[in-house]
Structure 1
Amino acid sequence: MYPDPALTHRVEVFTGHALAPLPLAWDDSANWLWRTCDETPQLLKLARTHPAQDPFWQGVDRLFGFDRWRCPEALTRLAGALPTHLPLPPLPLTYLGALHQTPLWSLPWSDGAPARMGEVFAELLGSQLGHLHRETVSGWGHPLETVWTLSQWPRRAHDFLRRHPRCADWETLPDFPIPSRAVWCLPDLRADQFLCGATGWLWSDWEALVWAPLEFDLCVAELLITEGAERDAFVTAYRRQSPDVALGEYRQGMRALIWAMRLQGDIDWHILKSHPAWLM
């Protein structure tokens, strides 16, 4: 699916750039995309979904208190706040303004190929999360909006599930122990949000970054990696940077949140719940 030609024309008039529309990677992709037709091309991203209609962004707002529509310009400063010397450094994001109240951003164009999960990338991802998890942040939520203490996590997470439209899928709501600490986290983490280019690896899609419990971020990673060799590569790289964390008492609740936010797509709860528990 491509942006409508009329929408492309409006963005061209708004930005002053001739644009080449790009297809959506997923039916529920959060942004319309274009490449500028310049000597130094940019990738333009126009918000396509609003939290009121998007289960993922609605979950990010209701659980973590973050809505990119409320702070589209400030969002661009997050990359500079991340730990330095990441193995997968973020591409800078620039806010271009609002087109009919819809946020529009740009980032440098990269000819790199989207990453695919494999042993090499799993090792890089383990090192990336290990670096990110070395830096403890002041609470969970979002640095641009609201930050809560870890003691408030159990009630917030429980209330999020209790009010979820599909809460009847749980016979009983899971427990939520107080997390050990909070870290930078990308809830919608996927391999294709990273690019392998001529100059190395890049993090191209990080706009959903939040501050989350460490155990939540590790449970996201646990569901992302499926092959034994990839898991070994991830764990080995992660342990070079950060110590092991026990997920046992956290796993059921975190997976319920992941399912409710559709971070694994429209998957049956019983399938997600039974995914192998291979991390710590």
Structure 2
Amino acid sequence: MAVSREKESLAKVLVHEGGYVNHPHDPGGPTNKGVTQRVYDAYRKGKKLATRSVKSITGDEVYEIYDRQYWDAVKGDHLPAGVDYVVFDGAVNSGPSQSIKWLQRALGPLYTGRVDGIMGMATLTALRSVNNNDALIDRICAQRLAFLKALKTWRTFGKGWSSRVAGVRSIGRAWATGETPPAAIHVDGGQAKGFIENAKAPPSTAPADAATGGGVAGGGVAGTVQTLQDQLSPISYSSEWITNVVVVLGVVSTLLVVGGLAYRWYAKRKAARLADDLDMAPL
């Protein structure tokens, strides 16, 4: 783009990120101004400098890390106004690849490539065909929120993430429409990293298999008991209890089979929805 919004975007991202945090449930671990200790260590080692606490990170180091690892990674200078900031903020929070995937999916039929998290020519070409970037920003943010809700850490950081995404949406839409963007607001928890490694586990189909298997086995037992009753009935006048047993076994077996099949359908549907929210659906 002719005009870079990197510094303006970074200023707003830093408000969302806040200062030093080390929340026990934040997968980012010790983090200062959005830079994790792990990222800071790699940065220092790359410059052949001794590692140190991320608490001591300097302003110049912060800018260089954000510039190279996030803004350049999403090709911020090649993105439309507003979209650049939205994709940049998502990259800082969940990684560049994940944020690019949200963009690729939000582009819909305009983007015909793989949802691979790479800002290549196909993605940039599709972007140039968009004639409503504020609506595109809505879709990007919707993808991002669905992803965050699919993480185990949503229970802890959901409120902060929701507030952050809402703020990012408002700022991005304002830039996209040429308006003055609102101020960024820091909400505690919104700075927590949202990584796919912390995705919720899909529901297991084991209970369904067990129930279905139990139902089939129960039906077999009911058949055996019925055969026994047929053999005893000529010589017994009190086989009514056997009939009751057969009926009960038949009903329970049917319920187990039906319940097992229903739960298997539910589990598979929920797993597919989870995979879709995590951008892991078959391409």
The alignment's TM-score, normalised by the length of structure 2, stands at 0.22
- The structure richer in strand per residue is 1
Task: Please tell me whether Structure 1 or Structure 2 has the larger radius of gyration of its CA atoms.
Answer: 2
The alignment's TM-score, normalised by the length of structure 1, stands at 0.22
- The structure richer in helix per residue is 2
